[in-house]
Amino acid sequence: MPELPEVETTVRGLASILAGETISRVSVRRADLRRPFPPDLAQALTGARVSGLSRRAKYGLIHTDRARTMVFHLGMSGRWRIDPDEIGKHDHLVLETGNGHVLALNDARRFGSVDLVDDDALDAWAPFAALGPEPLGPGLTAQHLARAFVGRIAAIKLMLLDQRIVAGLGNIYVCEALHRARIHPEREAGTVSLPALKRLVPEIRAVLEESIAAGGSTLRDYARPDGELGYFAKDFLVYGREGDPCACGRPVARVVQGGRSTFFCSVCQK
C-alpha cells in the first residue's frame, strides 16, 4: 500500500514532468475508482497549465492555473506510470502533456480516488479539514503531541495512527519511529514524558526522510524501467521482522493493536 514516502516520491516524480506544462489531452477510461471520477474532469484539465504539485497526508495535489486542483489518492494499489509502452486495462486515467509525455494512473484494485477541488476550498475539503499537522512540517512538535495526548489512555501507537493527531503517518513508520525513540508501543499515550516525545518527533521525520531518499532524487531513479513511480524497498529495524534479533539481541516481538501488527523490542522500548 502506498505510504507517505511513496506518495511524496510519486509527487516529486510527477512534478519533474508536469510542473509548468500544459495538459493537452485527458482520457478518463472508466466511470469510477473508489468513487466516480468528477464528471467534468477532462473538461477541467484539458488545456490547463500545471502551476505546481504538492502533497497533503497521503494525497497528491496537481495544481492548475484554473484555480482548481486535481487531488489523487493511490488507495491500496494505485501508481502513476510515465510514458508506458502501451495503455493497459488498469490505466484508468491518462494525461498527455504539451511536450509529449504520457502519464497513466493505474489502479488494479480501484481503492484510489481522483477529485477536483477549487483552490479556495482545499483547506475546508472534507478529507483535509480534520487532518492534524504534516509529520515533515513545522506543526508536528513534542508540545503538539503532549497536548493531544493529555489524559489519553489509548496506546501511543494507536494515537500516532490517528490522522487528526498526525496526518498521513502509516503503520510501518510509527513502528520504526517508536523503536528508534525507545518508546513501548502499548504505553498509554498520556503517560509518555515530554523528553520521550522530544526523542520521538525527530525519529518520525528521520524514518520518513530516509524512505523518501530511498525513492531517489532524479526522475531516472523515480521511474523503474516500466515507468512505474514511487515504489522502492527499504530495510526496516523492526517492521516485518518478528523473531529476528534486535540490535540488543532480543527477538523482535509482534502484537496486534487496532487490528494491525505492531513490531517492537520489549527490551529497548519502555
Active site residues: 2-3, 58, 260
Q: Which position has the grid cell 493493536?
A: 257
> Are the C-beta atoms of 177 and 205 separated by less than 8 Å?
no
Tell me if 164 is assigned to a ligand binding site.
no
Closest CA to 215 of 54, 51, 12, 50: 12
Tell me if 68 is assigned to a ligand binding site.
no
> In degrees rounded to 5, what are phi and psi of residue 10?
-60, -45
Q: Is 265 in the site for Zn ion (CB under 5 A)?
A: yes
Nearer to Zn ion, 49 or 199 (CB): 199
Contacts of 254 (CB under 8 A, 6+ apart): 242, 261, 262, 263
Pairing of strands 102-107, 253-257: unpaired
Q: Is 268 in the site for Zn ion (CB under 5 A)?
A: yes
Written as one letter, the residue type at 193 is: S
Minimum CB separation of residue 162 from Zn ion in Å reads: 26
Minimum CB separation of residue 52 from Zn ion in Å reads: 43
Within residues 220-249, the interface with Zn ion by CB under 5 A covers 246, 248
Nearer to Zn ion, 73 or 179 (CB): 179
Tell me if 34 is assigned to a ligand binding site.
no
Q: How many residues bind Zn ion (CB under 5 A)?
A: 5
> Are the C-beta atoms of 88 and 106 separated by less than 8 Å?
yes
Provide the annotated binding site for DNA. Answer: 90, 109, 152
- Site residues (vs Zn ion, CB under 5 A): 246, 248, 265, 267-268
Numbered residues of the known binding site: 90, 109, 152
